[in-house]
Structure 1
Amino acid sequence: DFEKLMRHFDNDITGKTFAVWGLSFKPNTDDLREAPARVLIEHIIEAGGKVKAYDPVAMQEMRHFYPNEKNLQLIGTAQDCCDGADALLINTEWREFRSPNWEVLKEGLLRPLIIDGRNLYDPEQVRSMGLQYDCIGRPLSDRRGQDIKAA
Structure 2
Amino acid sequence: RFGDLQGKHFALWGLSFKPNTDDMREAPSRELIDDLFAAGATVTAYDPVAMHETQRIYGAEPRLSYAENPMGALDGADALLIATEWKEFRSPDFDTIKQKLKQPLIFDGRNLYDPKFVRGMGIEYFAIGR
TM-score, normalised by the number of residues in structure 1: 0.84
Q: 1:128 aligns with which of 113, 117, 120?
A: 120
- Of structures 1 and 2, the one scoring higher in RCO (CA 8 A, sep 6+) is 2
1:88 and 2:80 matched: yes
Q: Deviations over 1:27-61 (max 9, x none)?
A: 00000111110111011011100000000100111
Q: Which secondary structure does the structure 2 equivalent of 1:124 belong to?
A: helix
C-alpha distance in 1 between matches for 2:101 and 2:128: 21
Give the AA of the match of 1:63.
Q
Q: 1:74 aligns with which of 48, 54, 66?
A: 66
Moved over 2 A (4+): none
1:19 and 2:15 matched: no
> What runs of 5+ residues in structure 2 fail to find an aligned partner?
none
1:29 and 2:9 matched: no
1:109 and 2:107 matched: no
Q: 2:40 aligns with which of 36, 39, 48?
A: 48
Q: What is the percent sequence identity of the aligned residues?
A: 58
Give the AA of the match of 2:21.
T
> What runs of 5+ residues in structure 1 fail to find an aligned partner?
1-7, 139-151
Give the AA of the match of 1:9.
F
Cα RMSD of the aligned pairs, angstroms, is 0.7
C-alpha distance in 2 between matches for 1:80 and 1:62: 17
Give the AA of the match of 1:108.
K
